[in-house]
Amino acid sequence: MKVIIVGGVAGGATTAARLRRLDEKAKIIMIDKGNHISFANCGLPYYIGDVIKDKKDLLLQTPESFNERFNVDVRVREKVEKIIPDEKKVIIKKLDTDEEYEEDYDKLVLSTRSRTN
Ligand SMILES: Cc1cc2nc3c(=O)[nH]c(=O)nc-3n(C[C@H](O)[C@H](O)[C@H](O)COP(=O)(O)OP(=O)(O)OC[C@H]3O[C@@H](n4cnc5c(N)ncnc54)[C@H](O)[C@@H]3O)c2cc1C
């Protein structure tokens, strides 16, 4: 079982941790286009309001600590540009180099937030 999770914050990191608890052998890749994963979205107003002084206090995990704890391949500053559902593949762009590569999956989880209009 190979799972790709797009988005590494609220839903993505939660899903990755839960999946690992359910299946020790699955290959889990979590991709986020940002610099950080698993941070406290809901704490942001406290940082802006100067109640939380150090933004590091909003970070719950780093890519390295998450990998060490849950054996999840975490890739930051990489953006999923395209999903090819018929082939069960995604096209990923490394934002630092513009290099693109593809990765296949058995299951794909999208946790990229959403917006209602
Ligand atoms: C200030 C604030 C207060 C909040 N308070 C509450 C609250 O009290 N209660 C509550 O229930 N909810 C609250 N929320 C909402 C809650 O944080 C969100 O509903 C939740 O974070 C959504 O989870 P998510 O995993 O879908 O998205 P996020 O946690 O936003 O994570 C999405 C991630 O996906 C990444 N991403 C997007 N597109 C791509 C792509 N193509 N390729 C790679 N990565 C991608 C982004 O970089 C981002 O890091 C609050 C939000 C904010 C900002």
Helix (H, G, I), strand (E, B) or coil at 5: strand
Ligand 1 center to residue 113 CA distance, Å? 5
Alpha carbons within 13 A on the beta-carbon side of 72: 33
Q: What's the confidence (pLDDT) of residue 70?
A: 97
CB distance 6 to ligand 1 below 6 Å: yes
Average pLDDT over all residues of the chain: 96
Q: Across the chain, which distance is largest between two alpha carbons, in Å?
A: 48
Q: Scanning the structure block, which residue is given the tokens 């698993």?
A: 38
Phi, psi of 112 (to 5 degrees): -105, 20
CB distance 91 to ligand 1 below 6 Å: no
**51-71 pLDDT, tens digit each:** 999 999 999 899 999 999 999
* Active-site choice (42, 49, 54, 115): 42
Domains and CATH numbers, the chain: 2-110 (3.50.50.60)
Q: What's the confidence (pLDDT) of residue 114?
A: 83
CB distance 80 to ligand 1 below 6 Å: yes
Structure tokens at 73: 């391949």
Give the ligand 1 atom nearest the CA of 45: 1
**69-101 pLDDT, tens digit each:** 999 999 999 999 999 999 999 999 999 999 999
